[in-house]
Amino acid sequence: MKVLGRVYLGFVLVFLYAPIAVMAAMSFNSSQFYQLPIDWSLKWYGALAGNSRLIDAGLNSILVAVITTVIAGTLGTAAALAFFRYRFRGKRFLQALLFPPIAIPWLITGTAMLLFFFWTGIGRGMHAMVLGHVALALPYVIIVVSARLQAFDPDLEAAARSLGAGPWQVVRYVTLPFLAPGIIAAALFAFAVSFDQFVISYFLAVPGVSTLPVEIYTSIRKGFTPEINAISTIVIIASMALLIGVARFYRFGGER
């Protein structure tokens, strides 16, 4: 059974990472038509450096994702603390409302946001994309931080207050250090949801201002180029490095 389990795990890893490995390898192939054997070259990375549309779209994605992470992380953490600390009428109902935005198809959510933003005068643009991404990321942040809070002992805060710590000192030295791994994990979720979001960005973007997923989709419709492989490889390497660094620092995988 142990051998069978390892074989199964190997198949799963190949299924997940083989397409990514092929894409990364082809980003170094000088042939535009992916001829084999691979003629190793940095040609498409040089072409990417001169592709202002892809670069600007990537910077827009990073900007929107960072703003979304800060806003959703702050509001979501505060909401999770409120759910944890206080009892009030409708609390269970509000907690249940966190799950429909995750389950509802983004196509439906994007259409609803587009209509709502036009009806309220918000319109389309970067500000609308940020609002849409925050709305999508908030449930993830609240759920992740709330899961971390389940292991929190309120007596720790009571002990700190009994020793003379003020409210902000309790938050700074007791609550936030304990919640830090959960907040970081929630922030990574929010960033990933925003950076990878296509439907909401596509509906709310204005001509000339788009995010990386929208620009890649537009480029593929016009004709696929290996420059997309190049920027995708850069994004994957940066994402994996960030995740591995955070996971090792906070020991999300535990210790042997």
Q: How many domains would you assign to the chain?
A: 1
CA 165 to chain CA mean position, Å:
36
250 falls in which pLDDT band (50, 70, 90)? Answer: low
**From 123-132, 197-206, 224-233, the region with the lowest mean pLDDT:** 224-233
Task: Give just the sign of the alpha carbon dihedral 176, 178, 184, 190.
Answer: negative
| Alpha-carbon span 132 to 32, nearest angstrom | 37
Q: Which residues, 6 or more positions from 212, have their beta carbon under 8 angstroms from its beta carbon? A: 54, 57, 58, 60, 61, 195, 231, 235
* Residue 119 maps to a domain: yes
For the ranges 73-87, 127-141, 230-244, the lowest mean pLDDT is seen at 230-244
Tell whether 133 is covered by a domain.
yes
Give yes or no for residue 252 having a pLDDT over 60: no
pTM of model > 0.85: no
* CATH number of the structural domain spanning residue 128: 1.10.3720.10
Dist CA 109 CA 196 (whole Å) = 15
Tokens describing residue 14 = 């190949």
- Which region among 111-115, 135-139, 237-241, 250-254 has the lowest average model confidence (pLDDT)? 250-254
Instruction: State the burial class of residue 23 (Cβ atoms within 10 Å of its Cβ: 0-12, 13-18, 19+).
Output: middle
pLDDT of 122 over the 80 cut: yes
Instruction: Note whether residue 22 is domain-resident.
Output: no
Any domain includes 171: yes
How many Å separate Cα 22 from the centre of its chain? 24
User: What pLDDT, in 10s, does the model give residues 36-88?
Assistant: 777 777 777 887 877 788 888 888 888 999 999 999 999 988 888 888 877 87
Structure confidence at residue 69 (pLDDT): 92
The pLDDT mean for the chain works out to 81
What's the domain range around 110? 53-224
